[in-house]
Amino acid sequence: MGLLVRFLLNAVALWVATAIYPGAVRIQNTETLLLAAVVLGLVNAFLRPVVLILTLPLNVLTLGLFTLVVNTLMLYVVVWLLHIPHGGFLSLFVLSLLVTVVSVLVGRLVAA
């Protein structure tokens, strides 16, 4: 999939997830949403693989469930870098689950 398509999928997934669970983060405008999608794509491309390798023993021990925590941490990095107000770790955890599910669903719709 092209970089632009991934960026748009991230933007749509983030928009839908914040619409479903608005208490997680407070994204004020479309520019912030698009910037968050770009930063999320960059964080997932460069930082997430390093963190997954470093936490591999813990990930194996939890049968892959620690990946959910890693996804939440990547989302936390994005809101921290962009100074986006958020509702805490649990809110970001739920939001990361929603972003993942929506991203998979939208990705399958685009691929079909």
- CA pair distance 20, 97, nearest whole angstrom: 12
**pLDDT one digit per residue (tens) for the chain, 112 residues:** 577 888 888 899 999 999 999 989 998 899 999 999 999 999 998 999 999 999 999 999 999 999 999 999 999 999 999 999 999 999 999 999 999 999 999 888 888 6
Q: How confident is the model at residue 4, as a pLDDT? A: 84
Give residue-wise pLDDT tens across range 89-107. Answer: 999 999 999 999 999 998 8
Q: Domain count of the chain?
A: 1
pLDDT given for residue 100 in this prediction: 92
Which structural domain range is residue 91 located in? Answer: 3-111
pLDDT, position 1 = 59
Number of neighbours of residue 56 by Cβ within 10 angstroms: 11
What global pTM score does this model have? Answer: 0.90
Query: Which one, of 59, 61, 87, lies nearest residue 71 by Cα?
Result: 59
Identify the pLDDT of residue 6: 81
Contact status, residue 90 vs residue 42, Cβ threshold 8 Å: no
The 10 Å Cβ neighbour count of residue 105 is 13
Q: What is the pLDDT of residue 33?
A: 92
